[in-house]
Amino acid sequence: MKSAAFDYVKPDSIEEVFSLLRQYGDDARILAGGQTLLATLNMRLSEPQLVIDITGLKALRGMRVQDERLHIGALVTHTEIENSPLVAQHAPMLSQAAPHIAHRAIRNSGTWGGSLAYGDPAAEWPCCLCALDGTVHLQGPDGARRVSATDFFQDLYTTALEPGEIVTGADLPVSTAADWYGFDELARRHGDYAVAGLAVAARFKGTVAQKVNLCFLGIGAVPVRAWHRGNRGGLPEGRARPVARSDPRAGDQAAPGHRAGASTADGGARQPQCNHSLTPETHMAELHSLQIEVNGQKQQRSVQPRQHLVDFIRNDLGLKGSHLGCEHGVCGACTVELDGHIVRGCLTLAVQAQGCKVRTIEGLSEDGDVRDLQEAFIRHNALQCGFCTPGMVMAAKELLQARPDATRTEVREWMSGNYCRCTGYHAIVDAICETLAARAQKGTGQPTDQVNA
Ligand SMILES: Cc1cc2nc3c(=O)[nH]c(=O)nc-3n(C[C@H](O)[C@H](O)[C@H](O)COP(=O)(O)OP(=O)(O)OC[C@H]3O[C@@H](n4cnc5c(N)ncnc54)[C@H](O)[C@@H]3O)c2cc1C
Ligand code: FES
Ligand code: FES
């Protein structure tokens, strides 16, 4: 599955974004983390003429506490929220919910603002923001405005975003000693979209709960606030209708657009769109010059904007170790490192990697920093056909660095973003756990052979 041709631009000012949105209207799409948009483009549920990459807008990054509210910029990634001490201190519910969002490679790219703008009723952030009495910040050519989270999510994949506006961030009250939070969800596998979930925010005076917000995800067209002051016991009318579900055979991990038709998430119509005459047959997008470092070697090529990073690596550079399976972010076969963090190569455009450092499985063999892991894979027969193995090793490599004290359960959760069709998972998990244990015994978190040297 490859997307139709489109043009690509990465503005460095928000005014330029508004100007392009005005010029192209519904033929333009905002690209943030791309973990939803690129899946829908790959499946041709949407065929925009122009993709506007907003990741160059520095003002949309960062988190801060101001006036007793935690402000999170639209471009903050799910992983940044998950790992943030500021979030853990001031919004512990978000720290609890973050690990439930997809898998590490997707959390490394997907953004807070992208999740809010998309408005998936099964997503974690919209539900948490409603439970926490959060506010979404919007900006358009005519200025900025703020909308309470409960008003922002209006219907299935439909938000209060007006055409030409973008989400710049959202804020929520900081937690106090009188507050209590809880978040949990029911999913078929860890990282799958939840079947249902519940976020709870309560404020106590002594032992008496003065205010309790319960917000459910996955049970209606928008996050459903089951109870709040002034709406005791009532569900907002018309908001608890059943949500269309994906084909259950897809493991409930299909990209959001796959589950409910196309979504523009930008205030436009919510149906698959192709309202222009540009198709790959009639439209060749302008080539972009790409300078990139892959496995320590500088490369320069011209690429079509629609080309995925993994296609570029395989076809243009001839590095065939990274594989293509599902091409919508589910199987993990295409996992590579971008500037030190794993990403889905099928949900990353090659042009997005301009100026970045990429590492593939071929790069690992050379410097040997996971030789102990590779040897453990062989010892445990953790591979047969080898199709999934490069993605497995790349994902496990980041686990070894980020979670050196991971338990077996945590290893299974982390690796749930990678599918293996022939070996089975026990041997793979055994190999990773053995490597973790060996490194812990050496007390360095480094490969055992390097420690011995
Ligand atoms: C396999 C898989 C599993 C997933 N599982 C989960 C899950 O369990 N829970 C969950 O919450 N999510 C899940 N996701 C989605 C993921 O969290 C996405 O990162 C998120 O929904 C969208 O964020 P993004 O930054 O990637 O947005 P993009 O994909 O870049 O954009 C999504 C949409 O929002 C628009 N948009 C993006 N940013 C803005 C902005 N600032 N202003 C206006 N419009 C904007 C885009 O035009 C697009 O229409 C999953 C994705 C995949 C591929
Ligand atoms: S996740 Fe990229 S090919 Fe399956
Ligand atoms: S080893 Fe064959 S798919 Fe995993």
Please indicate, yes or no, whether residues 359 and 446 belong to a single structural domain of this protein.
Answer: no
Q: How many Å apart are CA 184 and CA 198, to the nearest integer?
A: 6
Provide the pLDDT confidence category of residue 186 given band limits of 50, 70 and 90.
Answer: very high
Phi, psi of 293 (to 5 degrees): -110, 120
Which CATH number belongs to the domain containing residue 396 in this structure? 1.10.150.120
When divided into structural domains, the chain yields a total of 3
Does 126 sit in the ligand 1 pocket, CB within 6 Å?
A: no
Pick from 53-57, 120-124, 241-245, 294-298: least confident? 241-245
Q: Give the residue, by CA position, lying nearest to ligand 2 atom 1.
A: 329
CA separation (Å) from 233 to 184, 185, 214, 225, 238?
21, 21, 10, 9, 15
| 245 domain residue, yes or no | no
Q: How far lies 135's CA from each of 67, 145, 164, 293, 381, in Å?
A: 14, 10, 19, 40, 51
The answer to whether residue 243 scores a pLDDT higher than 80 is no
Residues 376 and 342 in one domain: no
The pLDDT value given to residue 244: 39
The residue whose two tokens read 């055409």 is: 163
Same domain, 348 and 382: no
Handedness of CA 87, 147, 262, 315 (dihedral sign): negative
What whole-number distance in Å separates Cα of residue 145 and Cα of residue 52? 22
What per-residue confidence (pLDDT) applies to 367?
A: 63
Of ligand 3's atoms, which has the minimum distance to the CA of residue 386?
1
Note the ligand closest to the C-alpha atom of 333: 2
Is residue 167 lining ligand 1, measured as CB closer than 6 Å?
A: yes
Question: Where on the phi/psi map is residue 434: left (φ > 0), alpha (ψ -120 to 50), or beta?
Answer: alpha
pLDDT confidence of residue 233: 44
CA 114 / ligand 1 centre spacing (Å)? 5
Residue 144 lies in a domain: yes
Last residue of a domain, one of 328, 348, 363: 363
Distance 45 CA to ligand 1 centre (A): 15
The span from the CA of 340 to the CA of 405, in Å, is 20
| pLDDT higher than threshold 50 for residue 283 | yes
Strand 50-53, strand 28-31: pairing: parallel
Query: Does 216 reside within a domain?
Result: yes
Whether residues 229 and 206 share a domain: the answer is yes
Smallest-distance ligand from the CA of 103? 1
Residue 387 Cβ inside 6 Å of ligand 3? The answer reads: yes
Does residue 435 sit in the same domain as residue 355?
no
How much is the pLDDT for 445? 60
Q: 17 with 103, same domain? A: yes
What are 286-308's pLDDT values in tens digits?
899 999 999 999 999 999 999 99
302 burial class (0-12, 13-18, 19+ CB within 10 angstroms)? exposed
Q: Is there a single domain that holds both residue 11 and residue 72?
A: yes
User: For a substitution probing ligand 1, which of 3, 20, 30 has the most ligand atoms within 8 Å of its CB?
Assistant: 30
Q: Using a 6 Å cutoff on CB, does residue 421 contact ligand 3?
A: yes
| 87 three-state secondary structure | helix
Last residue of a domain, one of 363, 380, 414: 363
Question: What pLDDT band is residue 366 in, cutting at 50, 70 and 90?
Answer: low
CA–centroid distance, 321 to ligand 2, in Å, is: 13
Q: Which of 86-95, 152-161, 269-278, 290-299 has the lowest mean pLDDT?
A: 269-278
Nearest bound ligand to the CA of residue 75: 1
- Percentage helix, strand, coil for the chain under 3-state DSSP, each rounded to 5: 35, 25, 40
Q: What is the tens place of the pLDDT at every residue in 50-81? A: 999 999 999 999 999 999 999 999 999 999 99
User: How sure is the predictor about 442, in pLDDT bands with cuts at 50, 70 and 90?
Assistant: confident
Residue 172 reports pLDDT greater than 90:
yes
**Do 281 and 153 sit in the same domain of this protein?**
yes
- Tokens 């016991």 -> residue: 233
Integer CA distances (angstroms), 63 to 13, 77, 148, 150, in order:
20, 11, 19, 22
303-327 pLDDT, tens digit per residue, is 999 999 999 999 999 999 999 999 9
Index of the ligand 1 atom closest to the CA of residue 77: 25
- Both 372 and 358 in one domain: the answer is no
Confidence of residue 446 (pLDDT cuts 50, 70, 90): low
Cα(110) to centroid of ligand 1, in Å?
6
| CATH assignment at residue 76 | 3.30.465.10
More confident residue, 260 or 270: 270
| Domain-embedded: residue 340 | yes
Binding site membership of 62 for ligand 3 (Cβ less than 6 Å): no
Tell how far the Cα of 102 is from the centroid of ligand 2, in angstroms.
Answer: 13
Q: Span 24-29, mean pLDDT?
A: 97
- Range with the largest mean pLDDT of 79-88, 219-228, 231-240: 79-88
The reply to whether 216 and 196 lie within a common domain is: yes
Distance from residue 347's CA to the centre of ligand 3 (Å): 21
* Domain around 295: 288-363
In the reported structure, the alpha carbon of residue 333 is separated from the centroid of ligand 2 by a whole-number distance in angstroms of 5
Mean pLDDT across 223-251? 48
- Ligand 1 centre to CA of 406 (Å) is 27
CA of 322 to the centre of ligand 2 (A): 10
- Residues 248/142, Cβ–Cβ less than 8 Å: no
Write the DSSP symbol of residue 168: E
Of 304, 86, 125, the C-alpha closest to 215 is 125
Q: Which has the closest alpha carbon to 113: 136, 133, 83?
A: 136
> Do 326 and 444 belong together in one domain?
no
Cβ contact 306:285 at 8 Å = yes
Residue 442 lies in a domain: yes
- 200 burial class (0-12, 13-18, 19+ CB within 10 angstroms)? middle
Ligand 3 contacts CB of residue 386 (under 6 A)? yes
The verdict on residue 18 lying in a domain is: yes
What sign does the CA torsion over 229, 234, 238, 241 have?
positive
415 lines ligand 3 (CB under 6 A): no
Ligand nearest to the Cα of 310, by number: 2
Q: Which amino acid is at 104?
A: R
Say if residue 238's pLDDT is above 50. no
Q: Atom of ligand 2 at shortest distance to CA of 347?
A: 2
Cα 111 to averaged position of ligand 1 atoms, centre (Å)? 7
Which CATH number characterizes residue 348's domain? Answer: 3.10.20.30
Q: Say if 166 falls within a structural domain.
A: yes
Q: What lines the ligand 2 site, CB under 6 Å?
A: 324-327, 329-334, 344, 346
- The last residue of one of the domains, among 334, 363, 392, is 363
**One domain for residues 193 and 273:** yes
382 lines ligand 3 (CB under 6 A): no
DSSP strands (E only) in 88-195: 135-140, 143-148, 153-155, 158-159, 166-173, 179-186
| Bridging pattern class, strands 297-303 and 288-294 | antiparallel
Residue 347 has pLDDT above 90, yes or no: yes
pLDDT classification of 226: cutoffs 50, 70, 90:
confident
Distances (CA, A) of 123 to 35, 39, 155, 278, 399: 13, 16, 14, 32, 24
Cα-flanking dihedrals φ and ψ of residue 342, to 5°? -70, 145
Share of the chain above pLDDT 90, in %: 81
* More confident: 277 or 421: 421
- Which residues are within 8 A (CB) of 103 and not within 5 positions of it... i.e. 6 or more apart? 191, 332, 414, 416, 417, 418
CA of 43 to the centre of ligand 3 (A): 25
Residue 269 CB-half CA count within 13 A: 10
